[in-house]
Structure 1
Amino acid sequence: MDSPGLLAAAGVIAFCAFFIRGYTGFGASMIMVAALTFFWAPAEVVPLIFLLEVAASLALVPGAWREAQWRSLWLLWLGMGVATPLGIFLLTWFAPETLTLVIAVLIALAAAAMLAGARNAGVPGRVATLAAGGVAGAMNGAMAMAGPAVVLFYFSSPAGVAAGRASLIVFFVLADLLGAGFAAGEGLYDRQTLLRTAILALPVLAGAYAGSHAFRFAEPETVRRFALIFLIAMALARVLSIAAS
């Protein structure tokens, strides 16, 4: 049985993580996995996060639906679906720590280049979009981390921050529903997990709403810079965690 103090701490973490999710369109899962695994086992945390992400998506999607770039979303989903087995195959050739280290460094370098001013001159075509989805799928299969590739894709696009954020929100709906479905199929949802989900749902929804509200009053470039700095910080945290282990 979880103590009230532990659940209160988890609630604060959930609010902060989903504030960032509402503000930028991504990031909650990275924070939640890093923080909640201090309290609970990863096998308990990941299924919980899938359900909380779905709950947040239900709150955020209505406001993002019209601005989402549906053409690119379908291509990204297709590329991700095709390439996810490739990521799983890579695990048979390379150690997970090696793959994580290489990918984290590449993410940090790409985000730093974008922070310095590098952007796509035009809207990415079908091949480039499918390729981005393929990279996301390979990362998803290799290390369960499809998000960074899609974040870099949208925040380097000339379509604008609002369209990129909306597209990220919609993109993660399918990813989280699939994740929750697979977790359910593996029997990972017990009474304890469902109880934690019910308790944390309120701070999750409050954080997502507050972040979404803050986005409405933010300058697009401020949101973009925050998102890229956050991505660099998460990538470097991965590198440091591997170096320390």
Structure 2
Amino acid sequence: MPEALSAVGATPGLIWLLLAIGLAGIVRGFTGFGTALIFVPVAGIFLPPQIIVGVITLTGIASTSALLPRAWKHADRREVAVLACAALVTVPVGLWLMAQLDPVSIRWVVAGVGSVTLGALITGWRFSGHVSRPVLVAIGGVAGVIGGLTGLTGPVVILFYLAGQSVAQSVRANTILFLAALDVVIVVNLLLRGAVNGQIFLLALVLAVPYFITSLIGQSLFDPRHERLYRWVAYAVIGLAVLSGLPIWNKGV
């Protein structure tokens, strides 16, 4: 155990990772998402994609207990189940792509996903009416691929819910529930592939402590009456992810 803790303490950029996950917890508790959008770009500066995906999903699972009980009451569980089942099928595709692409290319994918999401939201893209089951399946499937490839489990579903007409409380609950399910699916796939070792588990546990605490703080700040503020916080989080995730900020890239 002392050796394992020493190895975690020697993780490149550990202080920055702790700061990023702490901030991500506040945003996740307040908005229902934002963890990967904040953490993945920062972690990409220091860690390879395989470790990032393992750590962010394990940390997400560890923090679920802080947010899931309230979300379970307000979520449309049938709709979330359709999204999660579709992601179950496509996560292995994303993990396979992760193994084929180099880390810089994956960081550009992260930036691209964030840019598309932010652009669609700021320009006011909206849809109304009934969303069919095939559309839900497609949304869940794309979220699974991107989640497995980059660790960004949220943007596709965030775009789906925030661009719609649902109230803030429903959006937040559905997003939390789906991201929790997708984290489990990704971790199970990683375990089956032998891509998660003891050091990754321990690093995730270390990061989960500040994340759990700040998630509770963020949850206490959430007020469903402030839907407009909620949307703009979401835009700011996505914008931060796009800017900080650009590989051009790294020397030699």
- The verdict on how the C-alpha distance between 1:170 and 1:243 changes in structure 2, with shifts beyond 3 A counting, is same
> 1:87 Cα shift?
5.1
> 1:18 Cα shift?
1.0
Q: In structure 2, what is the Cα distance between the partners aligned to 1:198 and 1:189?
A: 13
1:214 aligns with 2:221: yes
8 A contact 1:161–1:223 mirrored in 2: yes
- The verdict on how the C-alpha distance between 1:139 and 1:49 changes in structure 2, with shifts beyond 3 A counting, is closer
Alignment match, 2:119: 112
Q: In structure 2, what is the Cα distance between the partners aligned to 1:94 and 1:11?
A: 27
Unpaired runs of 5+ in structure 2? 1-5
Q: Among residues 113, 119, 126, which one is paired with 2:133 in the alignment?
A: 126
RMSD, aligned CA: 3.5
**SS of aligned partner of 2:74:** coil
8 A contact 2:88–2:185 mirrored in 1: no
> 1:88 Cα shift?
6.5
Q: Which moved more, 1:227-236 or 1:88-97?
A: 88-97
1:241 aligns with 2:247: yes
Q: In structure 1, what is the Cα distance between the partners aligned to 2:98 and 2:27?
A: 31
Amino acid at match of 1:211: G
**SS of aligned partner of 1:65:** helix
> 1:65 Cα shift?
0.5
Alignment match, 2:34: 27
Amino acid at match of 1:53: G
Alignment match, 1:173: 180
Amino acid at match of 2:247: S
Alignment match, 2:21: 14
Q: In structure 1, what is the Cα distance between the partners aligned to 2:196 and 2:99?
A: 25
Q: In structure 1, what is the Cα distance between the partners aligned to 2:91 and 2:78?
A: 20
> 1:227 Cα shift?
0.8
Q: In structure 2, what is the Cα distance between the partners aligned to 1:44 and 1:107?
A: 21
1:188 aligns with 2:205: no
Q: In structure 2, what is the Cα distance between the partners aligned to 1:90 and 1:197?
A: 23
Amino acid at match of 2:32: G
> 1:67 Cα shift?
1.1
> 1:8 Cα shift?
5.6
> 1:150 Cα shift?
0.8
1:139 aligns with 2:142: no
Unpaired runs of 5+ in structure 1? none
1:60 aligns with 2:67: yes
Alignment match, 2:3: none
- The verdict on how the C-alpha distance between 1:194 and 1:214 changes in structure 2, with shifts beyond 3 A counting, is same
Q: Among residues 88, 93, 118, which one is paired with 1:81 in the alignment?
A: 88
Alignment match, 1:160: 167
Give the share of equivalent positions with the same residue, in percent.
27
Q: In structure 2, what is the Cα distance between the partners aligned to 1:99 and 1:48?
A: 16
8 A contact 1:47–1:189 mirrored in 2: no
Residues 58-99 of structure 1: per-residue CA shift (max 9 Å, x gap): 110001111112232122123323444665787899988668
TM-score, with normalisation over the residues of structure 2? Answer: 0.77
> Matched residue pairs, number?
243
